[in-house]
Structure 1
Amino acid sequence: MTRPESTGHDYDVVISGAGLAGSAAAVLLARRGARVALLERRSDPGAYKVLCTHSITANAYPVLDELGLVPALEKAGAVRNEARWYTRWGWIEPRAAPAGPELPYAYNIRRSVLDPLIRARAAETPGVDLLPGHRVTGLVREAGRTLGVRASTPQGEREIRARLVVGADGKDSAVAKSAGVPTRLHENARFGYLAHFRGLPLHGGIGQTWFLEPDMAYAFPNDDGVTVLAVLPDKKRLPAFREDLEGSFLSFVRALPEAPPIDSAERVSKIIGAVDYPLLTRRPTAPGLALIGDAALTGDPLWGVGCGWALQSAQWLAEAVAPATAGRGDLDRSLAVYARRHRRRLRGYQYLAADFATARSFNPLERLMFSAAARDEAVARHMYLFASRLISPLRFLSPVAVARASAVNIRHRRASVPPAHLSRTRS
């Protein structure tokens, strides 16, 4: 059972981090009756995350809809994120079924637009106090329970008490570290660099991803005609990249199949990246504390799922704990509900991503599914749903899906073998 606080609280919830996850959680909790303090270490209202895929996968569309952000995103020029993927078997090009609905989508939009937009939505929500310039320096704890935060502010040190403290402060979460939350790291055997280009046409005007085994690359069109172009090579190539970053980046892109014409485009950003970007998994709750977004789970950036999971985890938390944070339920039990949902929904994806982050080649099941998807529209749609995180790994690799992919490849092999009499003639 939840222990009563030894003293009163200033808010029902205090959230550290006013990025995607924190701002979304603030809105969704306040709409459900909680009083929320939303702390942001940066004072600039236009601050945003720089190193990002700038893509929100389709699994998060319902959260955007609940937040009321879809019209604002469309108005801001966000691009619906259709995609095609290159493999050694050719291009996988998901398309809607002739008589079926359109493929699910969310948006590609630069964080310089998205972050201020969602933060402003939080600031204007009744029940939310946005507190810029507040950097969490420690936690208020008693008998193993988190009761609030200590923050450095422009006016000096401040203590803010709450029924629940939420860490939405990224993979290097100060909240998680202060609480001693166990962290599991998975090595990433790739490094990554990205840059923004204007005037860079892409085939079909949609996102492109290259599976080069083990190297990777992607190009995502964004708002204002800006395309985010990223390369994620095996770390064995890092010494050569470091000798000439710009030359290596451009050469890598030029060598891609159906390479985007970067030499005729305008680069409008620096080439930025991360040499070491491990995958990270933390327990998402502790007494009086919850973690959302990258603070709870940081995936491999090559999949572009971080923004979507940030929004989803904020929604899962609000749905689970809002009544308890407003004093109408048991908080510990509510946190357990959130933790179970978080693990159930994301653990399988993270397991697969951590395995693929070793920079290995495709395994037999992946070869089966990717090759069939390049040859069959139904399998391509199935893969699109998985890449959009709308179906689980178990459903993606279900016996029915594997059997269909096998049948596709068998038909392909039969069609590729010439009839026996033609073989004899040619010989």
Structure 2
Amino acid sequence: MQTPLTVGAGAMTRTVTEPVDGGETATIDSDVAIVGGGLAGSLAAAVLARAGHRVALIDKRAVYPDEFRVEKIGGHQLAMLRKLGFLDALDKVACRYDQVLNIREGKVVDVSVGQAYGFPYADLVAMARSQMPHSSGLIVDEVTAISCSDDVQHLELASGRQVTARLVVLATGMAGALAYKLGIRRRVLAERHSVSFGFTIVRQDGRPFDFEALTCYGERTADGIDYLSLFPVRAGMRANLFMFRDPTDPVMRELRREPEATILRLLPGLRSYLGDFRVTDRVQNWVMDLTVVEGHLRPGIVLIGDAFQTNCPAAGTGVARLLVDVDRLCTEYVPQWLMTAGMGLEKISQFYADRDKIAADQQSLKMARFRQALTSRNDIGWDVRRRVHFLRRSLTHRVDQMHPGWLGRVRGALRA
């Protein structure tokens, strides 16, 4: 048979598969089985396990690979991480920065001030997993089938083992095979909505750049560039480029093959800020469809993060949505659901009907459409709106320079 072998791994415990002789199949009992050990699944597992629930976090990778996903967090997202108890751990693994210089056409638009962090996505996932108590663990295996009911859920693993749980949380990102088997379908709202690029740069002379972080907005609608974000990570200055452009356009290949020259050609205003620089690693890119699932209301199972709805990376709402899902599901609904028998539709529907979740989902789609229109629409209405958008930011910045702190006081008065 197959039996789990527990192996210590720093601040967490990993469960791996160790084959032994015999014809029986080991069964792992849990309160909640979380399928997918990326950011959403790992955060959810840590929150629930720290609350004393028996959690089975299942992922086929013991260590999450170096993938191009979320690489910076700031603003309200930090408040959410603090509420969930992860901010101190993030501070230890990420690079903090507090000021972003925002430019367009080589001129300063304004300066954003506020705490933010840059990191490789794999480090963020490792941080989340490290917050799981020693008594909990990661099952390194692959889920091949899920059987759901109003009472107990059964998961079949590739190793031959089984997991039983009262609730299954699908945190599988955009990988939809398991959801498809359950009859859950993904509806495409905008195919190939955006393209993102990620790479790391350093100055040729080895000196630091003259800014903590920088955002350079696109200069021409025809280029389809929303913005290039530069922020510190341990390996250097990380670059995230967000575009609304056909992924088959030759410029995509140029960005991968000759990133330095292509970036300066598309954003010539950057030259005086970057000086002589070079890309130090492989240019990674990601094509994003905007999608939402349908037929997802099933007994004993919930979908969170990208498994439920995808986001536009340029809008910066993906982590906020994910954190709302984790917060509402794991601190509000799951503890209540586990106190009484059953896991039927009347319980599951409460999560999908949550006002905070619905608002975060709707805001994400709204911002996705806004960023695309602000970047790419060249009709007179959006041209005027674009000019007013950047002019308002520039004027606000100039007034704040002449009267430091006035903007903060105004915002504080409006919130009061």
TM range, smaller chain: 0.7 to 0.9
Q: Which moved more, 1:194-203 or 1:206-215?
A: 194-203
Instruction: Note the C-alpha offset of 1:376.
Output: 1.0
Structure 1 residue 371 and structure 2 residue 391: aligned? yes
The CA deviation string for residues 139-182 of structure 1, in whole angstroms up to 9 with x for no partner, is: 11348x88232221xxx222212111111111123343232223
Distance 1:346 1:125, change over 3 A: farther
SS of 1:297's equivalent in the other structure is coil
The CA deviation string for residues 169-212 of structure 1, in whole angstroms up to 9 with x for no partner, is: 11123343232223222223443322122458555312314233
The residue number in structure 2 matching 1:360 is 376
The residue number in structure 2 matching 1:147 is 153
Mapping for residues 10-409 of structure 1, pairs under 5 Å: 10-43=29-62, 45=63, 47-80=64-97, 82-87=99-104, 91-95=108-112, 103=114, 105-122=115-132, 124=133, 126=135, 128-132=136-140, 134-142=141-149, 147-152=153-158, 156-185=159-188, 186-199=190-203, 201-202=208-209, 204-212=211-219, 213=221, 214-236=224-246, 238-241=248-251, 244-255=254-265, 256=267, 257-259=269-271, 264-274=276-286, 276-282=287-293, 285-328=297-340, 331=343, 332-341=345-354, 342-354=357-369, 356-357=371-372, 360-361=376-377, 363=382, 365=385, 367-377=387-397
Amino acid at match of 1:204: F
CA distance in 1, matches of 2:264, 2:105: 17
SS of 2:148's equivalent in the other structure is strand
CA distance in 2, matches of 1:181, 1:81: 42
Distance 1:195 1:263, change over 3 A: farther
Q: Specify every segment of 5 or more residues in structure 2 that has no aligned partner in the other structure, as ranges.
A: 1-26, 401-410
| C-alpha contact (below 8 Å) 2:194/2:312 kept by paired residues | no
| C-alpha contact (below 8 Å) 1:60/1:312 kept by paired residues | no
Report which structure shows greater RCO (CA 8 Å, sep ≥6).
1
Q: Which moved more, 1:175-184 or 1:198-207?
A: 198-207
Instruction: Note the C-alpha offset of 1:14.
Output: 0.2
CA distance in 2, matches of 1:273, 1:309: 22
CA distance in 2, matches of 1:9, 1:236: 46
| C-alpha contact (below 8 Å) 1:57/1:106 kept by paired residues | yes
Amino acid at match of 1:183: R
| C-alpha contact (below 8 Å) 2:230/2:238 kept by paired residues | yes
TM-score by length of 2: 0.74
Instruction: Note the C-alpha offset of 1:366.
Output: 5.2
How many pairs were matched up? 360
The CA deviation string for residues 285-326 of structure 1, in whole angstroms up to 9 with x for no partner, is: 532111112112221122333334323321121123222343
Distance 1:189 1:72, change over 3 A: closer
Instruction: Note the C-alpha offset of 1:329.
Output: 7.0
| C-alpha contact (below 8 Å) 2:193/2:290 kept by paired residues | no
| C-alpha contact (below 8 Å) 2:328/2:351 kept by paired residues | yes
| C-alpha contact (below 8 Å) 2:67/2:121 kept by paired residues | yes
Q: Specify every segment of 5 or more residues in structure 1 that has no aligned partner in the other structure, as ranges.
A: 1-7, 97-102, 381-394, 402-427
CA distance in 1, matches of 2:324, 2:214: 22
Aligned-pair Cα RMSD in Å = 3.5
Distance 1:321 1:355, change over 3 A: same
| C-alpha contact (below 8 Å) 1:25/1:318 kept by paired residues | yes
More strand by share: 2
Instruction: Note the C-alpha offset of 1:77.
Output: 4.3
| C-alpha contact (below 8 Å) 1:231/1:252 kept by paired residues | no
Q: Which moved more, 1:314-323 or 1:212-221?
A: 212-221
Distance 1:350 1:84, change over 3 A: farther
Instruction: Note the C-alpha offset of 1:263.
Output: 7.0
